Every structure is written in C-alpha cells, then in structure tokens.
C-alpha cells in the first residue's frame, strides 16, 4: 500500500528546484562553454557524447514520485508530460502510475539489471584493460590523443594480461583481434547475467538508468549518478593507454603492480558509491 503523498510547500520546492539547477549548471559549465567555442575535451565531454543526453536533461528537476508540489498548477511544470493534478486543486504531482503503465518493459528491464548486479559479488581483476583492447593492433584510434607507450607496447600489455571485461557496451568496442582474448563473450541479452558491481562501466550506466526512469527519479539522485559517472570516467581514462598529461591527468600505469593496486583502490571506492545509488534506484523502481 502506498503511503500518503508528501506535500512540499511552494517556497520549499522552488528553492529545491533552484538549488538543483545551480548544481546542474556547475556540473555542465565546462562542457557548455567548450561547446560554444566548438572545442572538445577527451575526458570531460565523454558523458555528453556517449550517452547523448544534453545538459538540459540534468537541469530539469523532478521531486520524485509521491510528492505533491503546492501552488504549481499555474507553472509550466503543470504542462510537462507525466505530471498530473494533486489532491489539492493547485498542486501537481508526478504521474508515476501512468509512467509505469506506458513504460513497464523499460522499468522492468532496468530493475532486472540493477537487482542482478546489486546481488552479485564485485570483481576487481579487469584493471581497466577494456580501453587497451579497444586499441589492440589498431592504427586509427577512437580519441585523437597520443598513446603513452606507443602501439607495439600497448599491444604487448593486452597480450600479456587476461582480459576480463563483463560489460557489453565496453566489449562491443574491442578490436576484432581483441575479442577472442576476452574471458567472456558479453552480449546485450546476457547483461543481467554478467553485469557486476565492480565494473566501472556498470557504475557509469547508473546515470543512464536514472535518465531513462525520468520523473520517477528525484533530482538529487540524478545528479549524484552523474557525478559518479563523471568521476569514473576520469579514472577510466587515467588507466587507459592514452597520454593525457597535456590535459593535466596523471596516468594510472595498470601495466605495473603499483598501477594495478591504485586502480583497484579506486575501483572499490566507486563500487561502494555505485551500490548506494543502485539501491536508491531500486527503491524508486519499487515505488
């Protein structure tokens, strides 16, 4: 049985909305400024190109399901999709039931992946080598950034390690020669089976799931998921074969024992943060 909705006064929810917009603007400022100059950054702009969500998506605040916004009937929000009148004449609230009914397969699919991942033991033995496998025996690279070790030594790192990638959206970018070197064969269909909480890409995807769940997700959870994805991307690229010293990033040398240890320390921290966000998203799905 659902609990009675929480009524948020007009002054309170408008302050919450403004604070959310300010936080979102701070998180996206660099990307927006670079876009206005037609510039790009190999690390900081990735989330906006890979996931294709514009900064405006982050800026739109939702209170989440079960919250009524007082005196909101005359605002633009009242005309947004998935908002309906609340119990009081001037209130509006998220139409969670309508959203779940129309997008039941999406919500169920996200929930299936999140539950399976949350209940699985974390793996910390991949050392971020998916980025190396994407460059294996490749003359042309995904990013216009020089390789830290050069092509031959980069290939040697791949050949002298076991590839343990479990994430399909990383694995699908492996070069043809790298595919048979991976321990598993991730596919889209096997995602609930293989996804595991130590995977950095699984942590980044929590941002994607937060966006896809739309108005069901409170604004603070959406931005927390984005911040996690942003932080993960930095480590992902610092551990990659690319030389990012020109952008101010110190390499995590995963081809060495010290580098592997540093990567795993970061990975464990991200896994803990991700599990917390994953649990919150599962709570949203449960309603």
Please provide the average confidence, as pLDDT, over all residues in the chain. 95
For residue 1, the model assigns a pLDDT of: 43
Of 96, 118, 144, the one marking the end of a domain is 96
| C-alpha triplet 278, 280, 285: angle, nearest 5° | 95
Pair (253, 112) in one structural domain: yes
Residue 1 domain-assigned? Answer: no
- pLDDT at site 287: 82
Using DSSP, state whether 73 is helix, strand or coil: coil
In a domain? residue 159: yes
Per-residue confidence (pLDDT) for residue 2, from 0 to 100: 57
Residue 85 domain-assigned (yes or no):
yes
Please tell me whether residues 173 and 76 are part of one structural domain.
Answer: no
Mean pLDDT by 10 residues, the chain (287 residues): 79 98 97 94 92 95 96 94 93 96 96 96 95 90 85 97 96 96 95 95 97 98 98 97 95 98 97 98 94
Q: What is the span of the domain harbouring residue 281?
A: 106-286
pLDDT tens-digit readout, 205-239: 999 999 999 999 999 999 999 999 999 999 999 99
Residues 266 and 204 in one domain: yes
| Residue at a domain's end among 34, 69, 96 | 96
Co-location of 64 and 141 in the same domain: no
Residue 281 included in any domain? yes
Question: Is the CB of residue 149 less than 8 Å from the CB of residue 241?
Answer: yes
Q: Is residue 82 helix, strand or coil?
A: coil
- Report the pLDDT value the prediction gives residue 119, as an integer from 0 to 100: 95
Same domain flag for 88 and 117: no
Does residue 12 sit in the same domain as residue 138?
Answer: no
CB-CB contact of 202 with 124 (8 Å): no
Q: Is residue 29, in this structure, part of any structural domain at all?
A: yes
88 lies in the same domain as 123: no
Q: Phi first, then psi: what are they for 88, rounded to 5°?
A: -90, 150
Q: Which residue has the tokens 């649990």?
A: 279
- Looking at residue 89, its pLDDT comes to 86
Q: Any idea which residue has 């069901």 for tokens?
A: 216
Q: Give the chain's domain count.
A: 2
Q: How many residues are recorded in the chain?
A: 287
DSSP E strands in the chain: the ranges are 6-8, 67-69, 83-85, 92-94
Asked whether residue 50 falls in the same domain as residue 114, the answer is no
Q: Which of 96, 124, 152 is the last residue of a domain?
A: 96
At residue 271's C-alpha, the angle toward residues 56 and 184, to 5°, is 100
- Asked if residue 254 is part of any domain, the answer here is yes
Same domain? 75 vs 129? no
34 and 121 housed in the same domain: no
Q: Are residues 92 and 226 in the same domain?
A: no
pLDDT above 90 coverage of the chain, percent: 93
Q: What is the pTM of this model?
A: 0.94
Q: What is the pLDDT of residue 138?
A: 87
What pLDDT was estimated at residue 279?
98
Q: Kindly state whether residues 88 and 128 are assigned to the same domain.
A: no
Q: Are 274 and 206 in contact (CB under 8 A)?
A: yes
Residue 271 confidence (pLDDT): 97
């Amino acid at each position: 049985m659902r609990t009675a909705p929480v009524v948020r006064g007009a002054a309170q929810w408008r302050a919450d909305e403004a604070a959310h917009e300010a936080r979102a603007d701070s998180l996206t400022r660099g990307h927006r400024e670079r876009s206005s100059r037609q510039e790009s950054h190999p690390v900081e702009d990735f989330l906006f190109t890979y996931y294709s969500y514009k900064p405006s998506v982050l800026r739109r605040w939702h209170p989440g399901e079960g919250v009524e916004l007082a005196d909101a009937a005359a605002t633009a929000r009242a005309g947004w999709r998935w908002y309906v009148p609340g119990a009081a004449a001037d209130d509006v609230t998220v139409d969670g039931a309508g959203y779940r009914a129309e997008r039941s397969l999406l919500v169920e699919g996200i929930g299936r992946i999140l539950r399976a991942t949350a209940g699985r033991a974390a793996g910390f033995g991949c050392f971020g080598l998916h980025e190396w496998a994407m460059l294996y025996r490749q003359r042309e690279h995904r990013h216009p950034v020089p390789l830290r070790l050069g092509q031959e030594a980069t290939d040697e790192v791949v050949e002298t390690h076991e590839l343990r990638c479990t994430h399909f959206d990383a694995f699908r970018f492996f070069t043809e020669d790298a595919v048979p070197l991976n321990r598993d064969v991730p596919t889209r269909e096997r995602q609930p089976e293989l996804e595991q909480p130590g995977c950095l890409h699984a942590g980044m995807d929590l941002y994607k799931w937060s966006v896809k769940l739309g108005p069901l997700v409170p604004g603070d959870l959406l931005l927390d998921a984005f911040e996690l994805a942003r932080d993960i991307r930095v480590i992902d690229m610092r551990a990659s074969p690319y030389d990012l010293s020109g952008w101010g990033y110190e390499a995590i040398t995963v081809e060495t024992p010290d580098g592997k240890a540093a990567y795993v320390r970061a990975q464990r921290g991200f896994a803990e943060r991700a599990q917390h966000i994953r649990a919150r998203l599962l709570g949203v799905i449960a309603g």
